[in-house]
Amino acid sequence: MTSTHTNSHTEAAKMEQVITEFFYKSLLIILESRSSYVSSRNYSGEQTVSSPSSSSSSSSSVRPRDKWFNLALRECPSALENLDLCRRSNFEPVVVDVILEQKPLDWGPASFSPTSDLVRNLSSKNKNSYFWNSDQQDESGSEMKCEKIIERWFVQNESRKGRDCNSGNRRSSCNNLSALYKKLILMLRSLYVTVRLLPAYNIFRDLNSSGLICSFKLVPRVSSFVEPLTRKEEVDMQRFWFTPVDTSCGRLCLSVLYHSSISDMSSESSTPMSPQFIPDYVGSPLADPLRRFPSLPVSHGSPSSLPFSRRHSWSYDHYKASPPLVSFSPSPTHSESNALVSNPSSLGLPPMSLPPHPPETSLAHKRNTNFDEYCPSPNFSASPSPSPSPSLPIYIPWTHLSKALLRSESAPVNIAAPKLANTPALSGKQNLPPCPPLKITRAGTSRTDNIRVPAETDATIEKIFSFGKEDCWKYSGVKAFSNSSPRISCSRSSSRSLQDDFDYSEFPCPFDVEDGEMMDPGSRKSQDAAVGALVRLLKKAPPLRQNVSLNFSEASRPEILSNSIPKQSQILEAVTVEYAAAPNIASFRLVASKTTTDALEELRGYKVMKNLLLSEGGKAYTSNVASAAEHSSTSKDRSIL
């Protein structure tokens, strides 16, 4: 008798424990598929290991509570265990409301990570409501959020009145217990599959997996008593019943009310934040205009020594012997495509491609942006000086520069880029590291290898060069003419001599005549030859105005540059210009900075000279002819006489 009583008591206790664990397990299954911090979805690290019951897996990987109903799930937060407080007995139901909260888009990141603290809200003596909440919500105020119950789960043990729970013999109760346990296992398996088939799971999965900043979140709320849903709320919901499992004292019931069409609601709210331009991103000149990029070339160095390589639209592939002096580093730091905003896909956000570079606006910092899609600001830097470190950089707003370059007062003449070379002083040690290639695509820009030298002295800086894909240029310095209009001289660091600077062999001089063609000065050909010789002489003549160039280099200041360029303070990109102190360099600069206008003027001068010579020669010829005629006539007269 006593043993029977003990056994039945034991069986009842076991039954009680089984039912309690069933409540716990079912709640865990529901919550872990509706709360990201409880989820087992990311619990895949151990899933590659064989089944927990296999011999190879360590028993320590399976917690004691995992073994209940043979379903090993992720460790639940401690708060879940506090749910026992809301249930005084196994006959009290548990209701789980899955709430879709929608908030404005100005949620901070913290609001999406609700704390695991359990907030107890006792509203009535019959209502014990525990719900997950976050501090951000409390601070912002509940009136800001829009809540909608998209699921309501009921877990309850319906009592069977008028029946003695402890009755029955030992064998039948034992069988009952094992049968009950098996049936509960099956029910929980079904529950596990069902929670993943309901529409709310898609929202949960998207929230967990994607990095989208969503305006909504799922908040499960556990309580033992809730207000019944309104008729309007219930109309849109469907119910799914799990077949109840009979226990010795009642039956365990599990059901769910769910919205079948919440995907529209979530898809509308899951749009990413609208792209915004961030003017002061890290690395932006606006944030730190005087910051020197590590890619600034130094007098020594190799491409590999650069701290980071950036692709530029101009490479020096064509001029490998002479790495350029000017390097252009776009403002965004790296050219590798990182799906920062992406997708999520994925999580991430779809990579957003920037629109073509808007000169008037600030650039958004997009690490995944290809350089093809915008025009970065060039970082003008040059180190023709023998000093090991470049001098103070000068920053020219790229936008101003580009606009200025496009303005021309006179048609520029293309000067072959490779022909513009450095002074001898720039050779050897001054070989600057080549700038990494940078791809820049500008609408309407054709690929050329030429440098367009600014035409007019008082004009704003014309388009110095048109960017090709593979060219990389460095500027050797800035020079201003007497009317204070600055020019940016282009040079290439090479070992070429000054004579190579203006190799006009590609531009045949109309007066250029072979040496052997110097003939009778009286003849027309000889006149041309003389002019050609004069031209060659002028070519080889030493440069003039050396002192002036020095003054100009001193006078060339950033303010001159900035004066010549329309001030647009929104965008200021780094343009580093260095000044050469050496007279040779200055003179080279003088020579190099000869404009096409100067060349034209020279040509005109030569033409005038030619005409003069011709006219003089003609006169001389005429006089000679006349004199010859006279002479002949005289001789004839003489003969006649």
Partner 1 sequence: MNCEVCQLKELEVEHFEIREVLRCILHTIVFHRALGLVRPKDVDLELFEITYVQCGDVELEKKIDEKIDHFISWVEKHPNKKSQICLSFYEVKSKQPSWFTNKTERLYWEQWYVNLNVTQHPKHHSSKSHHTKLIVDPGESATEERSCRRAMVEASLREVLFQIIKFVNEKKDHVPPISEGVIYFPYEITIPRKFQ
Distance CA(22)–CA(79), nearest Å, equals: 17
Q: Provide the minimum distance between the beta carbon of 344 and partner 1 in the complex, in angstroms, as a whole number.
A: 13
By CB under 8 A, tell whether 635 contacts partner 1: no
371 binds partner 1 (CB under 8 A): no
CA dihedral for 617, 619, 620, 621, sign (positive or negative):
positive
C-beta of 263: minimal distance to partner 1 in Å? 8
Say whether residue 256 binds partner 1 (CB under 8 A).
no
Judged by CB under 8 A, which of 10, 17, 47, 89 binds partner 1? Answer: 47
Tell me: does residue 268 bind partner 1 (CB under 8 A): no
Among 16, 21, 66, 500, the residue binding partner 1 under the rule CB under 8 A is 66
Q: How far is residue 259's CA from residue 276's CA, in Å, rounded to a whole number?
A: 35
Judged on CB neighbours under 10 Å (0-12, 13-18, 19+), 405 is buried
Residue 420 binds partner 1 (CB under 8 A): no
Does 63 interact with partner 1 (rule: CB under 8 A)?
A: no
Which candidate, 458, 309, 491, 306, places its Cα nearest to that of 384?
491
- How many C-beta atoms surround the C-beta of residue 187 within 10 A? 21
Interacting residue with partner 1 among 12, 71, 149, 237 (CB under 8 A): 71
Of the candidates 186, 184, 241, the one whose C-alpha atom is nearest the C-alpha of residue 19 is 184
For partner 1, which residue of 79, 95, 177, 186 counts as binding (CB under 8 A)? 186
Q: Does 196 bind partner 1 (CB under 8 A)?
A: yes
Q: What's the CA gap between 77 and 81, in Å, rounded?
A: 7
Backbone angles phi, psi at 163, to 5 degrees: -135, 135
Q: Per CB under 8 A, does 192 bind partner 1? A: yes
Range in contact with partner 1 (rule: CB under 8 A) among 5-13, 119-127, 198-206, 226-234 = 198-206
Q: How far is the CB of 183 from partner 1 (least distance, A)?
A: 5
C-beta of 35 vs 368, nearer to partner 1: 35
Closer Cβ to partner 1, 59 or 623, answer by number: 59
Contacting range for partner 1; rule: CB under 8 A; set: 1-9, 188-196, 436-444, 478-486: 188-196
| Amino acid of residue 208 | N
Rg of the chain's alpha carbons, rounded to an integer? 43
Q: Is 182 in the site for partner 1 (CB under 8 A)?
A: yes
**Is residue 46 involved in binding partner 1 (CB under 8 A)?**
yes
Report, in Å, the least distance between residue 254 CB and partner 1: 9
Nearer to partner 1, 10 or 51 (CB): 51
Structure tokens at 330: 């776009």
Nearer to partner 1, 348 or 418 (CB): 348
346 vs 523, beta carbon nearer partner 1: 346
Q: In 335-350, which positions are buried (b, 16+ CB within 10 angstroms) versus exposed (e)?
A: beeebebbebeeebbe
Cβ proximity to partner 1: between 178 and 627 the closer is 178
CB of residue 192 vs partner 1: minimum separation in angstroms?
6
| CA proximity to 483, closest of 459, 511, 512 | 459
505 binds partner 1 (CB under 8 A): no
Q: Which of 123, 169, 178, 624 binds partner 1 (CB under 8 A)?
A: 178
Q: How far is the CB of 289 from partner 1 (least distance, A)?
A: 48
Task: Confirm if 425 and 582 have CB atoms less than 8 A apart.
Answer: yes
Residue of 1, 2, 3, 44 interacting with partner 1 (CB under 8 A): 44
Give me 108's structure tokens: 């901070």
In the beta sheet, which residues pair with residue 158? 251
CB of 152 to partner 1, least distance (A): 19
Beta partners for residue 8, in sequence order: none
**Main-chain phi, psi angles of 381, to 5 degrees:** -145, 140
Query: 440: closest CA among 401, 466, 405?
Result: 466
Q: How far is CA 562 from CA 397, 461, 474, 525, in A?
A: 8, 10, 19, 51
End-to-end CA distance of the chain: 182
Shortest separation between residue 195's beta carbon and partner 1, angstroms:
10
- Pick the closest to residue 532 from 549, 517, 546 (CA basis): 517
Q: Please identify, among the stretches 159-167, 199-207, 354-362, 369-377, the one whose residues bind partner 1 according to the rule CB under 8 A.
A: 199-207
Task: Report CA 131 to chain centroid distance, whole Å.
Answer: 40
Q: Based on the shown chain and the rule CB under 8 A, indicate whether residue 251 belongs to the binding site for partner 1.
A: no
Stretch that binds partner 1, among 43-51, 394-402, 403-411, 613-621 (CB under 8 A): 43-51
Q: What are phi and psi of 184, to 5 degrees?
A: -70, -35
Element (H, E) at 10: helix 2-32
124 sits near partner 1 (criterion: CB under 8 A): no
- Residue 549, both tokens: 């160039």
Backbone angles phi, psi at 515, to 5 degrees: -60, -35
Binding residues with partner 1: total (CB under 8 A): 37
Residues 384, 493 contacting (CB under 8 angstroms): yes
Of positions 12, 14, 16, 62, contacts partner 1 by CB under 8 A = 62
Closer residue to partner 1 (CB): 251 or 545? 251
According to DSSP, the β-strands at 127-132 and 216-223 are antiparallel
Q: Of 100 and 480, which CB lies nearer to partner 1 in the complex structure? A: 100
41 binds partner 1 (CB under 8 A): yes
Q: Is the dihedral of CA 439, 444, 446, 450 positive or negative?
A: negative
CA distance 632 to 595: 53
Residue 174 is a binding residue for partner 1 (CB under 8 A): no
Residues 584-603, one symbol each (x = binds partner 1 by CB under 8 A, - = not), give: --------------------
Q: What are the beta bridge partners of residue 452?
A: 414
Interatomic CA distance for residues 616 and 23, integer angstroms: 119
Smallest gap from Cβ 19 to partner 1, in A, equals 17
C-alpha 508/C-alpha 528 separation (Å) is: 14
Q: Is 30 in the site for partner 1 (CB under 8 A)?
A: no
Pick from 122, 197, 235, 640 the residue near partner 1 by CB under 8 A. Answer: 197
Q: Which of 4, 53, 121, 624 binds partner 1 (CB under 8 A)?
A: 53
Tokens of 265: 């609601």
| Residue among 267 and 623 whose Cβ is closer to partner 1 | 267
Residue closer to partner 1, measured from CB, 56 or 276 = 56
Q: Compute the distance between CA of residue 328 and CA of residue 468 in angstroms, rounded to an integer.
A: 13
Among 14, 148, 205, 318, binds partner 1 (CB under 8 A): 205
Q: Which of 16, 21, 37, 40 binds partner 1 (CB under 8 A)?
A: 40
Q: Which is nearer to partner 1, 32 or 97 (CB)?
A: 32
Point out which residues bind partner 1 (CB under 8 A): 40-41, 44, 46-47, 50-54, 62, 66-67, 70-73, 178, 182-183, 185-187, 189-190, 192-194, 196-197, 201-202, 205, 240, 242-243, 245
